[in-house]
Amino acid sequence: MSSLIFDSKIYGSAWADDDFRAIFDEPAMVTDWLEILSVLAETQAHFDLIPKDAALAIAETCRATVVDGDFLDEVGVGFKDSGHSTQGLILAIFRRCPEGAGEWFYYGTTVQDLTDTWMSRAILKSHVLIQQSLDKILAILLPMANQYKNTTMAGRTHGQQGLPITFGFKVANWAGEMARHSERLSEIRPRLMYGQLSGGVGSMASQGSRGFEIQKMFFDTLNLLPAPVSWTSSRDVVAEWSQLLVLICGTADRIGHEIYNLQRSEIGEVREGFIEGTVGSITMPHKRNPEISEHLGTLSRIVRHNAALICEGLVHEHERDGRSWKAEWNAVPQATMAAGKTMSLLAGLVQNLEVDPNRMLANLEITKGFVLSEPLMLALAAKVGRKTAHEIIYEMSLKAQEAGMSFKEAVLSNCDITTHLPNLEMEGFFNYAQHTDYCAAMVERFLNEKGGK
């Protein structure tokens, strides 16, 4: 029975995917701990820091141990009795080792050596999964941007219609952020590769005269790297990982928020794809709620708040400070699992998004054409100057809207405008698509750069 939503039998599937849960759940974590400690014993024996027969027995015992509920209960009792984070694990393996071998288990290492090394491995596995989701999202968004590069819709500022744009332009904007996140993921990976084997205060005092060699072999086996200097008190890379998740999920939240708003009954320009059998409301059966878009916002908040907690660890006292570092045990898994779920939900959302070009065009008519006031002002400014042009169109717009006139009617009946611009209708000025300007061209430029056309 769990008190955490991530592990809920009822709701857990909405908060974490199984592939991320398989990285961070307790049996997986402890199994990986035992593998790390097996490799450590084997490495130390190779350099004669501990007896080879003891290392062999330790490795065999660790790898044969089934991390089930009974084993975790045993480890938990040891922790509760001792108050030490890994004493329960040490005692449990000691009991299972052949006589004498257990004396050499966990030799010269610390809790932070073990948990930081595990965390680096867990983050690297998560990095791969998030990159895969990001690649999938980009593979959907790039052709979508191309498909809708000429689909005219209202561009909105401050919640109001401003000028015509295209839906493909909006999608390319989303894709641009995701492409930059992909670059950031590639850039951060080398910094995520560092394991920890530094001992009590980071000086490696317990690894003997060949400590650097032990470090190298140990981390080579675990597909990690030794940091040039101990990072027991330096939590910047963990914080950087959390902030990258914030950026990625911030974009996902922005996309979800946009879809959430564009799906409003009063706008209706896009809709989440409908899955037969899903229920929007128990009391209002007609509703199709933007559940996925909404939940992206929830998950992103979880990521942001856990990242803030992780950043508290940047202020670290002396060479080890449990107040800072142990908070990561809670925050890193939650932030990473929530980010992973965010990405998989977003991939499904954009894959199945329903787009209504007719509604987009109809919504442009809500302003009766007044979204074209800026291009008219610029055209008139070429004849009379910007200030005068603004005054003419401002006064015309106020009077026309009070009278219920359309923009086209108001313009064509205003001699201050038609005297200088007599051919507006003939030149197709009142066609919204004529005023999306560089939207399609920017989409094409972006797609050419990304190879997604």
Q: Which tens digit of pLDDT belongs to each residue from 1-54?
A: 567 888 888 988 999 999 999 999 999 999 999 999 999 999 999 999 999 999
Q: What is the spatial distance between Cα 324 and Cα 335, in angstroms, rounded to a whole number?
A: 16
Q: Quick check: 140 and 163 in contact, CB under 8 A? A: no
178 within 8 A of 251, measured Cβ to Cβ:
yes
Kindly write down the DSSP assignment for every residue of 183-248, as one continuous string: HHHHHHHHHHTEE----SSSS-GGGGGGHHHHHHHHHHHTT-EE-SS--TT--HHHHHHHHHHHHH
Tens-place pLDDT, residues 181-218 = 999 999 999 999 999 999 999 899 999 999 999 999 99
Mutual orientation of helices 327-351 and 111-147 as an angle, nearest 10°?
Answer: 20
Is the model more confident about 416 or about 136? Answer: 136
Mean pLDDT of 352-361: 97
pLDDT number for residue 324:
84
Beta strands (DSSP E) in 222-314 are 225-226, 270-271
**Of 248, 240, 238, which is closest to residue 135 (Cα–Cα)?**
248
Domain boundaries, the chain: 13-104, 111-146+167-363, 366-450
CATH number among 1.20.200.10, 3.90.980.10, 3.40.50.300, 3.30.9.10, domain 111-146+167-363: 1.20.200.10
pLDDT above 70 coverage of the chain, percent: 96
- Residue pLDDT, tens place only, 77-116: 999 999 999 999 999 999 999 989 999 999 999 999 999 9
| pLDDT surpasses 80 at 367 | yes
| Residue 167, pLDDT above cutoff 90 | yes
Average pLDDT for 421-450: 90
Residues carrying an active site annotation: 158, 281
pLDDT tens, position by position, 223-257: 999 999 999 999 999 999 999 999 999 999 999 99
Q: Pinpoint the alpha helices (H) of 65-110.
A: 69-82, 87-96
DSSP string, 40-65: HHHHHHHTTSS-HHHHHHHHHHHHH-
Helices H / strands E in the chain, number of each: 18, 6
Position 415 scores a pLDDT of: 87
Considering only CA atoms, give the Rg of the chain.
30
Q: Hey, what CATH class is 13-104 in? A: mainly alpha
Residue 307 pLDDT exceeds 60: yes
- pLDDT the model gives residue 277: 44
Mean pLDDT of the 274-296 span: 67
Check if 111-146+167-363 and 366-450 are the same fold. no
Task: Provide the Cα torsion 32, 38, 41, 46; round to 10°.
Answer: -120
Flag whether pLDDT at 436 surpasses 90.
Answer: yes
Helix (H) or strand (E) holding 121: helix 111-147
Q: Mean pLDDT, to the nearest integer, of 386-396?
A: 91
The length of the chain is: 453
Tokens, residue 8: 């809920």
Q: Is the dihedral of CA 392, 394, 399, 403 positive or negative?
A: positive
At 326-352, the pLDDT tens digits run 999 999 999 999 999 999 999 999 999
Residue 139 carries which side chain, given as an amino acid letter? A
Residue type, 123: I
Which whole number is the average pLDDT over 360-372?
A: 92
What's the CA gap between 330 and 37, in Å, rounded?
22
Say which CATH topology domain 366-450 has: Ribonucleotide Reductase Protein R1; domain 1 (1.10.40)
pLDDT for residue 180 is more than 60: yes
Task: Tell me the pairing of strands 225-226 and 270-271.
Answer: unpaired
pLDDT at 414 over 90: no
Which residue has better confidence, 69 or 320?
69
275 pLDDT higher than 70: no
Nearest to 44 by CA among 195, 201, 221: 221
Query: What six digits make up the tokens of 66?
Result: 């089934």
Q: How far apart are CA 390 and CA 412, in angstroms?
A: 17
- The closest alpha carbon to 200, from 230, 224, 222, belongs to 230
